Amino acid sequence: MGYRLAVAAAICALIAWPLACSNSGDDQTSALAPDAASPADAQLPDATVDTGPAEEAAVEATIDAPATLDAGLDADLDAPEAAPCVMDTAGEPTELRCTGLYSDWPSRTIAPDVQVYDPGLHLWSDGAVKTRWIYLPPNTTIDTSNMDEWVFPVGTKFWKQFVVDGVLVETRMLHKLAASSWYATTYEWTPDGSTTAELRMGALDVNDSGYEIPNQTKCLECHQGRIDYVLGFEAVSLSSPGASGLPMATLAARNLITVPPEAPLVVPGNPTESAALGYLHANCGTTCHNANGLASSTGFYMRLDVAYLGSVAATDTFHSGWNVATTTFHGAPERIAQCSLQNSCVYYRMSHRDGINDAALGSQMPPIDTHRVDPTGMAAIAAWIGEGCDGGADGGI
């Protein structure tokens, strides 16, 4: 992730990817489930959020208190100085403390120009609790003239923090360097949460938890699903009821987007349908299963484009997946088979984690960077498949 990534068709063409749940020989889907949303203020010192500039105490030094002045000067001389920031070969900091996320590193105080947010619809990350922040350069706006493909101003930064089994593990960063160039990297925390170091090669089984930090080369495999690289900060997710911090209404009210939607963006269907469509969008559609993503050739698209939110049947997920046969994947004959979990490729592949050392060699979806099945996501998909069926969906995996 720590190299300059240009989201261009030429790069996409160089990446080989096994495609699934399609009618072609490379049939695949990446149906997943939402993660456990972290609160805006995580119960960890590193996730402290400022509500405004820190108040500064007024300190008066007078000529009548020479001893006090001497003591203060001595204290300043004795206080340890922060180590200088070291840059990597891409010119980016090798430590998280130097990236602009914090205004005060020792207290883990978030900088006042950095905004915490929750997208409402979440990507499953093997149970990690995540906190997210965005920095927009002053007096800039996000170009939303194409509501499905937002374009961010140069200088934008995103951070996403991962806590696994109560332990702070990593914080990822995206930094837009130029019109079509993003720098992506991650910073691994020491087990005691005291320091971080940029990690380019990734790590399997971090802290013996089974959790994986992906290496840099894997970023583009998912992020190329968006024209401007960013996955979760987008129209449908930020319009969902669970969005907070910078939901769509706040972005519009603060003039942070160029073109607000003409009407509220709502995932269609009853609660069962909208829940399934929403997290298939967040976990499959924004990454691979869209016209730009690595699964584009399958024709199985699960991104919720705003022009097709009028009904469940109008969505790409429904008309390219519901009761649509897949002829080459032998684990299940249909992409999403009404009333049958056993015959549903999406459900089948969600239920498996059989990759080897994170290689896409088995049936699991997604094929990389996940080693745990999400029971909540499985349940949501099962509920949609079994809705209206006598006794619910049959043939559980």
Which tens digit of pLDDT belongs to each residue from 232-276?
Answer: 999 999 999 999 999 999 999 999 999 999 999 999 999 999 999
Q: Give which of 205, 26, 40 is closest to 126, Cα–Cα.
A: 205
CA gap 396, 213 in Å, rounded: 31
What's the distance, Cα to Cα, between the start and end of the chain in Å? 35
pLDDT tens over the chain, length 397 residues:
444 444 333 333 333 333 445 444 334 333 333 344 443 333 333 333 333 333 333 333 333 434 433 444 344 444 456 789 999 998 999 999 999 999 999 999 999 999 999 999 999 999 999 999 999 999 999 999 999 999 999 999 999 999 999 999 999 999 999 998 999 999 999 999 999 999 988 888 888 888 898 887 887 778 888 899 999 999 999 999 999 999 999 999 999 999 999 999 999 999 999 999 998 999 999 999 999 888 898 999 999 999 999 999 999 999 999 999 996 777 789 999 999 999 999 999 999 888 766 555 678 887 788 888 999 999 999 999 999 998 777 776 5
| Three-class DSSP category at 193 | coil
CA distance 139 to 179: 17
Residue-wise DSSP of 221-286? HHHTTSTTS--SSSHHHHTSTT-BSS-HHHHHHTT-BSS--SS-----SSHHHHHHHHHHIIIIIT
pLDDT at 9: 38
What are the tens digits of pLDDT across the range 167-221?
999 999 999 999 989 999 999 999 999 999 999 888 888 888 888 988 878 877 7
Q: What is the pLDDT of residue 115?
A: 98
Q: Distances from the Cα of 243 to the Cαs of 119, 129, 215, in angstroms?
A: 5, 16, 29
What's the confidence (pLDDT) of residue 80?
Answer: 54
What does pTM read for this prediction? 0.79
Q: Which residues contact 199 (CB under 8 A, 6 or more apart)?
A: 170, 185, 186, 187, 188, 213
Q: Could you tell me if 185 and 174 are in contact, meaning their C-beta atoms sit under 8 angstroms apart?
A: no
Report which secondary-structure segment, H or E, holds 26: none
**Structure tokens that stand for 186 in this block:** 């991650």
pLDDT at 151: 97
pLDDT of residue 215: 86
